[in-house]
């Protein structure tokens, strides 16, 4: 009788096997072996990543910002500096893997248009009066599919190395127990959205149960304090900004931070930065705050 794990290895190396079919077979293996973390990743790839999910590093997309001119089609958008250009030209895709496959199957040229995050789109529309798009090379999406296929192969090879290949689509109780003891390092998560993960922190406080990322807020406060002079704020706005920073610091050091107060502070800080939106530092903080709230 054949082994589903060995079949999975063969399918992962066969470019003619649809990536969604490959993932579904991998899901069978992960579910039968009770490998929860890998099954979760497979479901996210099949169904798409939700707003609060962690988006893997390999789903990052880099392209070129262009705007649609009604008379000349897509035209380049000039950014004020390299830092801003890099920030606006990078995003990530959370769509199901089948959606990526469909895009690559369309009879188009080597370039594809991607919608930008709403905060960046609003800013650019205000600046240039045209709707912007992120233009990417098709090879960028092909790389995502190739990475997923490789991760499935690594997963199946790891099982075989541990002597877990199964009979048909079944696994013994002994093999299931052994599988649960294996550490899988094939999924690289870099963007920790809404995560309370903390490393090497002797005083880490994990009591917060809200929807905001306290670590992101701490980083924002540290950075905005260092770069406040670069914002060129009026005395009145500077006083307001410092007041909101103090309130934020009070909230994030509290044992029970309040989401609504934190969001109000962040919204006020964003409004202050929007008042000097032509300033590069202000644009940077507008985008950071938008990602937090």
Buried b (16+ CB within 10 A) or exposed e, 121-147: bebbeebeebebbbbbbeebbeebbee
Q: The tokens of 50 are what?
A: 């939700």
Residue ranges of the chain with pLDDT lower than 70? Answer: 1, 107-110, 183-211, 255, 277-278
**Alpha-carbon distance 129 to 217, whole Å?**
31
What pLDDT is stored for residue 144 in this prediction? 94
What pLDDT is stored for residue 24 in this prediction? 96
Kind plus residue range of the DSSP H or E element containing 169: none
**Alpha-carbon distance 124 to 118, whole Å?**
10
Contacts of 277 (CB under 8 A, 6+ apart): 123, 126, 283, 286
**Alpha-carbon distance 70 to 7, whole Å?**
52
Contacts of 247 (CB under 8 A, 6+ apart): 261, 265
Q: How many residues does the chain have?
A: 293
DSSP symbol at 260: H
pLDDT tens-place string over residues 136-168? 888 889 999 999 999 999 999 999 988 999 888
What pLDDT is stored for residue 201 in this prediction? 24
DSSP symbol at 3: B
Contacts of 104 (CB under 8 A, 6+ apart): 138, 141, 142, 145
Distance in Å from the first CA to the final CA of the chain: 54
| Dihedral of alpha carbons 233, 234, 237, 238, sign | positive
pLDDT tens-place string over residues 186-197? 444 334 333 222
Backbone angles phi, psi at 167, to 5 degrees: -115, 110
């Amino acid at each position: 009788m054949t082994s589903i794990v060995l079949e999975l290895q063969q399918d992962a190396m066969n470019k003619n096997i649809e990536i969604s079919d490959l993932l579904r077979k991998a899901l069978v293996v992960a579910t039968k072996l009770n490998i929860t973390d890998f099954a979760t990743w497979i479901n996210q790839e099949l169904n798409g990543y939700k707003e609060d999910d962690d988006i893997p590093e390999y789903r990052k997309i880099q392209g070129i910002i262009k705007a649609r001119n009604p008379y000349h089609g897509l035209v380049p958008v000039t950014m004020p500096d390299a830092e801003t250009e890099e920030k606006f030209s990078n995003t990530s895709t959370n769509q199901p893997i089948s959606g990526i496959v469909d895009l690559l199957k369309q009879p188009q040229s080597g370039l594809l248009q991607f919608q930008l995050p709403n905060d960046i789109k609003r800013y650019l529309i205000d600046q240039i009066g045209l709707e912007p798009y992120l233009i990417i090379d098709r090879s960028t999406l092909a790389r995502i599919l190739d990475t997923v296929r490789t991760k499935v192969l690594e997963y199946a090879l790891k099982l075989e190395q541990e002597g877990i290949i199964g009979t048909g689509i079944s696994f013994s109780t002994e093999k299931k127990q052994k599988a649960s003891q294996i550490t899988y390092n094939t999924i690289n998560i870099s963007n920790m959205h809404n995560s309370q993960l903390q490393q090497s922190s002797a005083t880490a406080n994990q009591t917060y149960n809200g929807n905001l990322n306290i670590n992101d807020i701490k980083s924002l406060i540290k950075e905005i304090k260092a770069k406040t002079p670069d914002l060129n704020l009026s005395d009145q706005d500077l006083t307001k900004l410092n007041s909101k920073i103090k309130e934020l610091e009070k909230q994030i050091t509290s044992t029970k931070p309040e989401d609504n107060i934190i969001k109000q502070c962040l919204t006020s800080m964003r409004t202050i930065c929007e008042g000097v939106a032509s300033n590069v530092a202000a644009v940077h903080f507008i985008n950071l705050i938008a990602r937090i709230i």
